[in-house]
Protein backbone atom coordinates (compact mmCIF):
# COMPACT_ATOMS: atom_id res chain seq x y z
CA UNK A 1 0.00 0.00 0.00
CA UNK A 2 2.84 2.36 0.92
CA UNK A 3 4.56 1.46 -2.38
CA UNK A 4 1.36 2.34 -4.29
CA UNK A 5 1.02 5.66 -2.47
CA UNK A 6 4.61 6.57 -3.35
CA UNK A 7 3.96 5.90 -7.03
CA UNK A 8 0.74 7.92 -6.92
CA UNK A 9 2.59 10.86 -5.36
CA UNK A 10 5.34 10.61 -7.96
CA UNK A 11 2.75 10.60 -10.73
CA UNK A 12 1.13 13.72 -9.26
CA UNK A 13 4.49 15.51 -9.01
CA UNK A 14 5.43 14.53 -12.56
CA UNK A 15 2.10 15.81 -13.85
CA UNK A 16 2.59 19.08 -12.00
CA UNK A 17 6.09 19.53 -13.45
CA UNK A 18 4.81 18.84 -16.97
CA UNK A 19 1.91 21.25 -16.50
CA UNK A 20 4.30 23.94 -15.22
CA UNK A 21 6.61 23.48 -18.21
CA UNK A 22 3.71 23.64 -20.67
CA UNK A 23 2.15 26.65 -18.95
CA UNK A 24 5.44 28.53 -18.90
CA UNK A 25 6.05 27.75 -22.58
CA UNK A 26 2.53 28.94 -23.46
CA UNK A 27 2.93 32.16 -21.47
CA UNK A 28 6.28 32.90 -23.08
CA UNK A 29 4.75 32.53 -26.54
CA UNK A 30 1.47 34.30 -25.84
CA UNK A 31 2.64 37.34 -23.91
CA UNK A 32 4.96 40.08 -25.08
CA UNK A 33 7.38 40.37 -22.18
CA UNK A 34 8.46 44.03 -21.99
CA UNK A 35 12.08 45.03 -21.71
CA UNK A 36 11.88 48.27 -19.72
CA UNK A 37 12.22 49.43 -16.14
CA UNK A 38 9.12 47.61 -14.85
CA UNK A 39 9.19 44.26 -13.11
CA UNK A 40 7.47 41.56 -15.17
CA UNK A 41 5.90 38.87 -13.01
CA UNK A 42 5.11 36.61 -15.99
CA UNK A 43 8.76 36.52 -17.05
CA UNK A 44 9.77 35.74 -13.46
CA UNK A 45 7.27 32.87 -13.23
CA UNK A 46 8.45 31.46 -16.57
CA UNK A 47 12.05 31.46 -15.35
CA UNK A 48 11.42 30.03 -11.89
CA UNK A 49 8.32 27.83 -11.61
CA UNK A 50 9.43 24.84 -13.76
CA UNK A 51 12.83 24.63 -12.05
CA UNK A 52 11.18 24.80 -8.64
CA UNK A 53 8.96 21.80 -9.34
CA UNK A 54 11.75 19.84 -11.01
CA UNK A 55 13.86 20.28 -7.88
CA UNK A 56 11.02 19.20 -5.58
CA UNK A 57 10.44 16.10 -7.70
CA UNK A 58 14.13 15.17 -7.45
CA UNK A 59 14.11 15.79 -3.70
CA UNK A 60 11.09 13.53 -3.29
CA UNK A 61 12.89 10.73 -5.14
CA UNK A 62 16.13 11.18 -3.18
CA UNK A 63 14.47 11.46 0.22
CA UNK A 64 14.93 14.19 2.82
CA UNK A 65 17.67 14.99 5.31
CA UNK A 66 17.74 14.12 9.00
CA UNK A 67 16.65 16.85 11.43
CA UNK A 68 20.28 17.40 12.46
CA UNK A 69 21.39 17.72 8.85
CA UNK A 70 18.55 20.15 8.16
CA UNK A 71 19.65 22.30 11.10
CA UNK A 72 23.23 22.30 9.84
CA UNK A 73 22.18 23.22 6.30
CA UNK A 74 19.93 26.08 7.40
CA UNK A 75 22.55 27.43 9.81
CA UNK A 76 25.19 27.33 7.09
CA UNK A 77 22.91 29.21 4.70
CA UNK A 78 22.40 32.10 7.10
CA UNK A 79 26.10 32.28 7.99
CA UNK A 80 26.90 32.48 4.28
CA UNK A 81 24.31 35.24 3.91
CA UNK A 82 26.00 37.20 6.69
CA UNK A 83 29.41 36.66 5.09
CA UNK A 84 28.03 37.68 1.71
CA UNK A 85 26.96 41.01 3.22
CA UNK A 86 30.67 41.47 3.97
CA UNK A 87 31.65 40.84 0.33
CA UNK A 88 31.78 37.04 0.46
CA UNK A 89 30.98 34.67 -2.42
CA UNK A 90 27.44 33.59 -3.26
CA UNK A 91 28.48 30.31 -4.90
CA UNK A 92 28.23 28.01 -1.87
CA UNK A 93 25.01 29.63 -0.68
CA UNK A 94 23.44 29.20 -4.11
CA UNK A 95 24.31 25.49 -4.07
CA UNK A 96 22.25 24.84 -0.93
CA UNK A 97 19.51 27.41 -1.54
CA UNK A 98 16.89 25.01 -2.94
CA UNK A 99 17.41 22.62 -0.04
CA UNK A 100 17.03 25.40 2.53
CA UNK A 101 13.88 26.70 0.84
CA UNK A 102 12.35 23.21 1.02
CA UNK A 103 13.36 22.77 4.68
CA UNK A 104 11.79 26.08 5.69
CA UNK A 105 8.66 25.36 3.65
CA UNK A 106 8.21 22.02 5.39
CA UNK A 107 8.85 23.37 8.87
CA UNK A 108 6.56 26.38 8.42
CA UNK A 109 3.87 24.07 7.05
CA UNK A 110 4.07 21.95 10.21
CA UNK A 111 3.80 25.06 12.39
CA UNK A 112 0.81 26.41 10.45
CA UNK A 113 -0.94 23.07 10.81
CA UNK A 114 -0.25 23.07 14.54
CA UNK A 115 -1.83 26.52 15.03
CA UNK A 116 -5.00 25.26 13.33
CA UNK A 117 -4.78 26.71 9.82
CA UNK A 118 -5.20 23.50 7.86
CA UNK A 119 -8.38 22.95 5.84
CA UNK A 120 -10.45 19.95 4.73
CA UNK A 121 -10.50 18.80 1.12
CA UNK A 122 -13.73 19.45 -0.82
CA UNK A 123 -15.90 16.33 -0.75
CA UNK A 124 -13.44 14.72 1.70
CA UNK A 125 -14.03 16.44 5.06
CA UNK A 126 -11.90 13.89 6.91
CA UNK A 127 -8.77 14.77 4.91
CA UNK A 128 -6.88 17.77 6.33
CA UNK A 129 -4.21 19.77 4.51
CA UNK A 130 -2.68 23.24 4.43
CA UNK A 131 -4.00 25.48 1.68
CA UNK A 132 -2.35 27.08 -0.10
CA UNK A 133 0.93 25.18 0.32
CA UNK A 134 3.91 27.19 1.59
CA UNK A 135 6.08 27.96 -1.45
CA UNK A 136 8.96 30.44 -1.51
CA UNK A 137 11.79 31.33 -3.87
CA UNK A 138 14.83 33.23 -2.56
CA UNK A 139 15.45 35.96 -5.10
CA UNK A 140 15.58 39.74 -5.36
CA UNK A 141 12.00 41.11 -5.34
CA UNK A 142 10.97 44.13 -7.38
CA UNK A 143 11.29 47.64 -6.10
CA UNK A 144 8.12 49.66 -5.60
CA UNK A 145 7.86 53.19 -6.95
CA UNK A 146 5.52 54.97 -4.51
CA UNK A 147 3.89 58.30 -5.36
CA UNK A 148 2.42 60.92 -3.02
CA UNK A 149 1.40 64.57 -3.41
CA UNK A 150 4.00 66.94 -1.97
CA UNK A 151 1.38 68.82 0.07
CA UNK A 152 0.00 65.70 1.78
CA UNK A 153 1.02 62.18 2.73
CA UNK A 154 -1.16 59.91 0.57
CA UNK A 155 -0.31 56.84 -1.45
CA UNK A 156 -1.86 57.78 -4.81
CA UNK A 157 0.02 55.41 -7.09
CA UNK A 158 2.71 52.81 -7.38
CA UNK A 159 4.35 50.50 -9.85
CA UNK A 160 6.89 47.72 -9.55
CA UNK A 161 10.41 48.16 -10.91
CA UNK A 162 13.09 45.66 -11.88
CA UNK A 163 15.31 44.86 -8.88
CA UNK A 164 18.55 45.14 -10.82
CA UNK A 165 18.14 48.83 -11.66
CA UNK A 166 21.19 50.93 -10.74
CA UNK A 167 20.86 53.85 -8.32
CA UNK A 168 21.37 56.32 -11.19
CA UNK A 169 18.47 54.71 -13.11
CA UNK A 170 16.28 54.82 -10.01
CA UNK A 171 17.02 58.49 -9.46
CA UNK A 172 16.12 59.23 -13.07
CA UNK A 173 12.76 57.44 -12.68
CA UNK A 174 12.02 59.37 -9.48
CA UNK A 175 13.00 62.67 -11.09
CA UNK A 176 10.72 61.98 -14.06
CA UNK A 177 7.80 61.28 -11.70
CA UNK A 178 8.48 64.51 -9.80
CA UNK A 179 9.03 66.66 -12.87
CA UNK A 180 5.71 68.52 -12.66
CA UNK A 181 6.57 69.76 -9.15
CA UNK A 182 3.46 68.39 -7.48
CA UNK A 183 4.51 64.83 -6.65
CA UNK A 184 6.92 63.10 -4.32
CA UNK A 185 8.34 59.75 -5.53
CA UNK A 186 10.43 57.02 -3.95
CA UNK A 187 11.64 53.69 -5.39
CA UNK A 188 11.70 51.41 -2.35
CA UNK A 189 13.81 48.23 -2.16
CA UNK A 190 11.58 45.48 -0.81
CA UNK A 191 12.15 42.17 0.98
CA UNK A 192 9.33 40.01 -0.33
CA UNK A 193 6.55 39.69 -2.90
CA UNK A 194 3.41 37.52 -2.75
CA UNK A 195 3.74 36.05 -6.18
CA UNK A 196 3.39 32.26 -6.15
CA UNK A 197 5.87 31.05 -5.17
CA UNK A 198 6.55 34.16 -3.11
CA UNK A 199 9.76 36.06 -3.80
CA UNK A 200 11.81 36.72 -0.67
CA UNK A 201 15.17 38.48 -0.60
CA UNK A 202 17.76 36.26 1.14
CA UNK A 203 19.63 37.82 4.05
CA UNK A 204 21.12 36.84 7.40
CA UNK A 205 18.30 37.91 9.77
CA UNK A 206 16.85 34.48 10.56
CA UNK A 207 13.67 35.57 12.32
CA UNK A 208 13.20 38.49 9.93
CA UNK A 209 13.41 36.21 6.89
CA UNK A 210 10.92 33.74 8.39
CA UNK A 211 8.60 36.65 9.20
CA UNK A 212 8.69 37.74 5.56
CA UNK A 213 7.96 34.21 4.32
CA UNK A 214 5.09 33.88 6.80
CA UNK A 215 3.79 37.36 5.89
CA UNK A 216 3.61 36.45 2.21
CA UNK A 217 1.96 33.12 2.99
CA UNK A 218 -0.71 34.96 4.99
CA UNK A 219 -1.46 36.96 1.83
CA UNK A 220 -1.76 33.68 -0.09
CA UNK A 221 -4.10 32.36 2.61
CA UNK A 222 -6.22 35.52 2.69
CA UNK A 223 -6.54 35.60 -1.11
CA UNK A 224 -9.12 32.81 -0.79
CA UNK A 225 -11.00 34.62 1.99
CA UNK A 226 -13.28 37.71 2.06
CA UNK A 227 -10.53 40.01 3.39
CA UNK A 228 -7.95 39.12 0.75
CA UNK A 229 -10.43 39.01 -2.13
CA UNK A 230 -11.26 42.66 -1.39
CA UNK A 231 -7.64 43.80 -1.12
CA UNK A 232 -7.88 46.14 -4.11
CA UNK A 233 -11.23 47.66 -3.16
CA UNK A 234 -9.87 50.48 -0.98
CA UNK A 235 -6.87 51.74 0.97
CA UNK A 236 -8.74 50.80 4.13
CA UNK A 237 -8.86 47.15 3.06
CA UNK A 238 -5.25 47.21 1.92
CA UNK A 239 -4.28 48.50 5.36
CA UNK A 240 -6.33 45.77 7.02
CA UNK A 241 -4.69 43.08 4.89
CA UNK A 242 -1.17 44.38 5.45
CA UNK A 243 -1.58 44.91 9.18
CA UNK A 244 -3.04 41.43 9.68
CA UNK A 245 -0.23 39.87 7.62
CA UNK A 246 2.41 41.83 9.56
CA UNK A 247 1.15 40.89 12.99
CA UNK A 248 0.57 37.23 12.12
CA UNK A 249 3.85 36.96 10.23
CA UNK A 250 5.86 38.26 13.17
CA UNK A 251 4.15 36.00 15.68
CA UNK A 252 4.52 32.95 13.45
CA UNK A 253 8.21 33.77 13.00
CA UNK A 254 8.72 34.01 16.76
CA UNK A 255 7.08 30.60 17.21
CA UNK A 256 9.15 29.18 14.36
CA UNK A 257 12.54 30.26 15.67
CA UNK A 258 11.70 28.94 19.14
CA UNK A 259 10.84 25.56 17.64
CA UNK A 260 13.69 25.54 15.11
CA UNK A 261 16.52 27.67 16.50
CA UNK A 262 19.72 28.12 14.54
CA UNK A 263 22.61 25.94 15.75
CA UNK A 264 24.60 27.78 18.40
CA UNK A 265 27.71 28.06 16.29
CA UNK A 266 25.82 29.57 13.37
CA UNK A 267 23.98 32.07 15.57
CA UNK A 268 27.23 33.15 17.23
CA UNK A 269 28.96 33.61 13.87
CA UNK A 270 26.09 35.74 12.54
CA UNK A 271 26.16 37.91 15.67
CA UNK A 272 29.90 38.32 15.24
CA UNK A 273 29.49 39.42 11.62
CA UNK A 274 26.60 41.75 12.38
CA UNK A 275 28.63 43.90 14.75
CA UNK A 276 25.59 44.74 16.88
CA UNK A 277 22.67 47.09 16.34
CA UNK A 278 23.08 50.88 16.23
CA UNK A 279 22.26 52.65 19.49
CA UNK A 280 19.26 54.54 18.17
CA UNK A 281 15.50 53.96 18.31
CA UNK A 282 14.56 54.37 14.66
CA UNK A 283 10.89 53.61 15.33
CA UNK A 284 10.62 56.55 17.73
CA UNK A 285 12.57 58.83 15.40
CA UNK A 286 10.35 58.01 12.40
CA UNK A 287 7.16 58.34 14.42
CA UNK A 288 8.13 61.75 15.77
CA UNK A 289 9.22 62.89 12.32
CA UNK A 290 5.92 61.75 10.80
CA UNK A 291 3.93 63.82 13.29
CA UNK A 292 6.18 66.87 12.78
CA UNK A 293 5.85 66.59 9.00
CA UNK A 294 2.07 66.25 9.24
CA UNK A 295 1.92 69.46 11.29
CA UNK A 296 4.03 71.39 8.77
CA UNK A 297 2.02 70.13 5.79
CA UNK A 298 -1.25 70.98 7.54
CA UNK A 299 0.08 74.53 7.93
CA UNK A 300 0.91 74.65 4.22
CA UNK A 301 4.69 74.67 4.75
CA UNK A 302 5.72 72.09 2.15
CA UNK A 303 9.29 73.36 1.83
CA UNK A 304 9.71 73.38 5.61
CA UNK A 305 8.48 69.79 5.83
CA UNK A 306 10.88 68.66 3.13
CA UNK A 307 13.80 70.46 4.75
CA UNK A 308 12.99 68.78 8.08
CA UNK A 309 12.84 65.31 6.50
CA UNK A 310 16.23 65.81 4.85
CA UNK A 311 17.76 67.15 8.06
CA UNK A 312 16.50 64.17 10.08
CA UNK A 313 17.67 61.77 7.35
CA UNK A 314 21.20 63.16 7.63
CA UNK A 315 21.07 62.91 11.42
CA UNK A 316 20.10 59.23 11.19
CA UNK A 317 22.86 58.62 8.64
CA UNK A 318 25.33 60.05 11.12
CA UNK A 319 24.15 57.38 13.59
CA UNK A 320 24.59 54.56 11.07
CA UNK A 321 20.99 54.37 9.80
CA UNK A 322 21.09 55.12 6.08
CA UNK A 323 17.96 55.94 4.10
CA UNK A 324 18.61 57.13 0.55
CA UNK A 325 15.64 59.51 0.74
CA UNK A 326 12.95 60.40 3.27
CA UNK A 327 10.09 62.28 1.68
CA UNK A 328 6.29 62.30 1.48
CA UNK A 329 6.28 59.11 -0.61
CA UNK A 330 8.44 57.41 2.05
CA UNK A 331 5.73 57.98 4.66
CA UNK A 332 2.83 57.34 2.27
CA UNK A 333 4.33 53.93 1.46
CA UNK A 334 4.54 53.03 5.15
CA UNK A 335 1.19 54.50 6.21
CA UNK A 336 -0.74 51.56 4.80
CA UNK A 337 0.83 49.33 7.43
CA UNK A 338 -1.12 50.13 10.55
CA UNK A 339 1.56 48.95 12.97
CA UNK A 340 4.39 50.89 11.35
CA UNK A 341 5.82 53.68 13.54
CA UNK A 342 5.55 55.97 10.52
CA UNK A 343 1.80 55.26 10.22
CA UNK A 344 -0.96 57.20 11.96
CA UNK A 345 -3.78 54.83 10.96
CA UNK A 346 -5.83 53.48 13.90
CA UNK A 347 -6.23 50.10 12.22
CA UNK A 348 -2.92 49.06 13.78
CA UNK A 349 -4.27 49.18 17.33
CA UNK A 350 -7.58 47.64 16.29
CA UNK A 351 -5.89 44.65 14.68
CA UNK A 352 -3.65 44.30 17.75
CA UNK A 353 -6.79 44.33 19.92
CA UNK A 354 -8.33 41.61 17.77
CA UNK A 355 -5.23 39.47 18.25
CA UNK A 356 -5.25 40.13 22.00
CA UNK A 357 -8.81 38.82 22.14
CA UNK A 358 -8.03 35.67 20.13
CA UNK A 359 -6.82 32.49 21.84
CA UNK A 360 -4.13 31.82 19.21
CA UNK A 361 -2.58 33.25 16.08
CA UNK A 362 -4.58 30.67 14.11
CA UNK A 363 -7.85 31.82 15.67
CA UNK A 364 -6.84 35.43 14.99
CA UNK A 365 -6.23 34.72 11.29
CA UNK A 366 -9.48 32.84 10.89
CA UNK A 367 -11.39 35.75 12.46
CA UNK A 368 -9.56 38.38 10.41
CA UNK A 369 -10.01 36.43 7.17
CA UNK A 370 -13.77 37.02 7.27
CA UNK A 371 -13.53 40.81 7.55
CA UNK A 372 -14.98 42.87 4.72
CA UNK A 373 -14.36 46.34 6.14
CA UNK A 374 -13.04 48.28 9.12
CA UNK A 375 -16.64 48.42 10.32
CA UNK A 376 -16.63 44.62 10.52
CA UNK A 377 -13.46 44.85 12.63
CA UNK A 378 -15.15 47.37 14.95
CA UNK A 379 -18.03 44.92 15.29
CA UNK A 380 -15.70 42.11 16.33
CA UNK A 381 -14.18 44.42 18.90
CA UNK A 382 -17.64 45.18 20.28
CA UNK A 383 -17.53 48.85 19.27
CA UNK A 384 -15.09 49.65 22.06
CA UNK A 385 -13.10 52.48 20.48
CA UNK A 386 -10.81 54.52 22.67
CA UNK A 387 -10.66 58.27 22.25
CA UNK A 388 -7.40 57.79 20.35
CA UNK A 389 -9.01 55.32 17.92
CA UNK A 390 -12.01 57.56 17.36
CA UNK A 391 -10.00 60.75 16.84
CA UNK A 392 -7.63 59.09 14.38
CA UNK A 393 -10.50 57.58 12.43
CA UNK A 394 -12.20 60.98 12.21
CA UNK A 395 -8.95 62.56 11.05
CA UNK A 396 -8.53 59.96 8.34
CA UNK A 397 -12.09 60.50 7.10
CA UNK A 398 -11.57 64.28 6.96
CA UNK A 399 -8.44 63.78 4.90
CA UNK A 400 -9.76 60.99 2.67
CA UNK A 401 -11.15 63.40 0.10
CA UNK A 402 -7.66 64.47 -0.90
CA UNK A 403 -6.98 61.16 -2.59
CA UNK A 404 -9.88 61.56 -5.02
CA UNK A 405 -8.18 64.42 -6.83
CA UNK A 406 -5.38 62.06 -7.81
CA UNK A 407 -7.48 58.94 -8.42
CA UNK A 408 -6.29 58.67 -12.00
CA UNK A 409 -2.73 58.18 -10.74
CA UNK A 410 -3.67 55.15 -8.66
CA UNK A 411 -2.37 51.97 -10.29
CA UNK A 412 -2.70 49.57 -7.43
CA UNK A 413 -2.32 48.87 -3.78
CA UNK A 414 0.32 49.79 -1.36
CA UNK A 415 2.86 48.36 1.03
CA UNK A 416 3.48 46.52 4.39
CA UNK A 417 5.89 45.76 7.29
CA UNK A 418 6.31 44.43 10.82
CA UNK A 419 4.19 46.13 13.40
CA UNK A 420 5.59 48.35 16.15
CA UNK A 421 4.46 51.46 18.01
CA UNK A 422 2.14 53.93 16.26
CA UNK A 423 0.23 57.14 16.78
CA UNK A 424 -1.78 56.05 19.79
CA UNK A 425 1.29 54.71 21.58
CA UNK A 426 0.09 51.10 21.44
CA UNK A 427 2.02 48.37 19.71
CA UNK A 428 4.51 45.60 19.90
CA UNK A 429 8.15 45.78 20.88
CA UNK A 430 9.70 48.71 19.02
CA UNK A 431 12.19 47.81 16.30
CA UNK A 432 15.66 49.22 16.13
CA UNK A 433 16.52 49.83 12.52
CA UNK A 434 15.07 49.96 9.04
CA UNK A 435 16.22 46.89 7.19
CA UNK A 436 15.18 45.16 3.98
CA UNK A 437 11.65 45.83 2.80
CA UNK A 438 9.09 43.28 1.55
CA UNK A 439 6.43 43.75 -1.19
CA UNK A 440 4.06 41.69 -3.23
CA UNK A 441 2.50 42.26 -6.59
CA UNK A 442 -0.31 43.65 -4.53
CA UNK A 443 1.30 43.80 -1.13
CA UNK A 444 4.43 45.31 0.36
CA UNK A 445 6.06 44.85 3.75
CA UNK A 446 8.85 46.81 5.41
CA UNK A 447 11.00 44.85 7.83
CA UNK A 448 12.73 46.46 10.78
CA UNK A 449 14.89 44.15 12.85
CA UNK A 450 17.69 44.73 15.36
CA UNK A 451 19.79 41.88 14.00
CA UNK A 452 19.46 43.04 10.38
CA UNK A 453 20.70 46.53 11.22
CA UNK A 454 24.37 46.38 10.36
CA UNK A 455 23.85 43.72 7.71
CA UNK A 456 21.28 45.55 5.64
CA UNK A 457 21.36 49.30 6.12
CA UNK A 458 23.50 49.69 3.02
CA UNK A 459 20.62 48.25 1.02
CA UNK A 460 18.45 51.26 1.85
CA UNK A 461 20.65 53.24 -0.57
Cβ 200 vs Cβ 216: under 8 Å: yes
- Whether the pLDDT of residue 421 is over 60: the answer is no
Q: pLDDT category, 20, cuts 50, 70, 90?
A: very low
The C-alpha atoms of residue 212 and residue 417 are separated, in whole angstroms, by 9
Q: What pLDDT does residue 375 have? A: 95
Q: Which residue has the higher pLDDT, 168 or 46?
A: 168
Q: What pLDDT does residue 280 have? A: 87
Write the pLDDT tens digit of every residue in 333-354. Answer: 999 888 888 898 899 999 999 9
Write the pLDDT tens digit of every residue in 291-302. Answer: 999 999 999 999
Cβ neighbours of residue 98 under 8 Å, at least 6 residues apart?
55, 59
Q: Which residue has the higher pLDDT, 436 or 408?
A: 436
Write the pLDDT tens digit of every residue in 62-94. Answer: 667 899 999 999 999 999 999 998 877 788 999
Write the pLDDT tens digit of every residue in 344-394. Answer: 889 999 999 999 999 999 999 999 999 999 999 999 998 555 444 444 444
For the chain, how far is it from start to end, CA to CA, in angstroms? Answer: 57
Q: What percent of the chain has pLDDT over 90?
A: 58
Give mean pLDDT, residues 301-307: 98
Q: pLDDT category, 30, cuts 50, 70, 90?
A: very low
Q: What pLDDT does residue 189 have? A: 87
Q: What pLDDT does residue 124 have? A: 66
The C-alpha atoms of residue 25 and residue 379 are separated, in whole angstroms, by 48
The C-alpha atoms of residue 333 and residue 412 are separated, in whole angstroms, by 12
- Whether the pLDDT of residue 60 is over 70: the answer is no
Q: What pLDDT does residue 59 have? A: 62
Per mean pLDDT, which range of 16-30, 107-121, 127-141, 341-355 is the poorest?
A: 16-30
Q: Which pairs with CB-CB distance under 8 Å and at least 24 residues apart come from 274-278?
A: 274/82, 274/204, 274/451, 274/453, 274/454, 274/455, 275/454, 276/453, 276/454, 277/432, 277/433, 277/450, 277/451, 277/453, 277/454, 278/319, 278/320, 278/321, 278/432, 278/433, 278/453, 278/454
Q: What pLDDT does residue 429 have? A: 30
Torsion of CA 44, 208, 187, 429, to 10 degrees: 150
Q: What pLDDT does residue 18 have? A: 45
How many of the other CB atoms lie within 10 Å of CB of 365? 26
Q: What percent of the chain has pLDDT over 70?
A: 70
Q: What pLDDT does residue 87 have? A: 75
Extents of the domains making up the chain: 1-62, 143-460
Give mean pLDDT, residues 393-412: 37
Q: What pLDDT does residue 143 have? A: 94
Q: What's the mean pLDDT when you consider all of the chain?
A: 78
Q: pLDDT category, 316, cuts 50, 70, 90?
A: very high
- Whether the pLDDT of residue 95 is over 60: the answer is yes
Give Cα separations from 441 to 144, 386, 416 (angstroms).
Answer: 9, 34, 12
136-138 and 198-200 beta bridge pairing: parallel
Q: Which residue has the higher pLDDT, 427 or 354?
A: 354
Q: What secondary structure letter does DSSP report for 152?
A: S
Q: What secondary structure letter does DSSP report for 118?
A: E
Give mean pLDDT, residues 113-127: 80
pTM for the model stands at 0.78
Q: pLDDT category, 190, cuts 50, 70, 90?
A: confident
Q: What pLDDT does residue 383 have? A: 57
Q: pLDDT category, 182, cuts 50, 70, 90?
A: very high
Q: What pLDDT does residue 236 have? A: 92
Amino acid sequence: MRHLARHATLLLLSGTVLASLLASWALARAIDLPDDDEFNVVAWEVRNVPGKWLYLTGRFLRGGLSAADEDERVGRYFVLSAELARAGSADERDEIENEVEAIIEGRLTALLEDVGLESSLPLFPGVRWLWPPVDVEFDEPPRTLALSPRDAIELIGQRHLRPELAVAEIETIEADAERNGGLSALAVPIAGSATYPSIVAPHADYEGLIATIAHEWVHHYLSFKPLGVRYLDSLELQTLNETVADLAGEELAALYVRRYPLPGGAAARIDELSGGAPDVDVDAALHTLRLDVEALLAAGDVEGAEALMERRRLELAGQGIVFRRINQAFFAFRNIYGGDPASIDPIGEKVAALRAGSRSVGAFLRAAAGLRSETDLDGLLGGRLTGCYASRRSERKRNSGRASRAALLRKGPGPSRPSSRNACGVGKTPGVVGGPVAVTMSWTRVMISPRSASLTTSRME
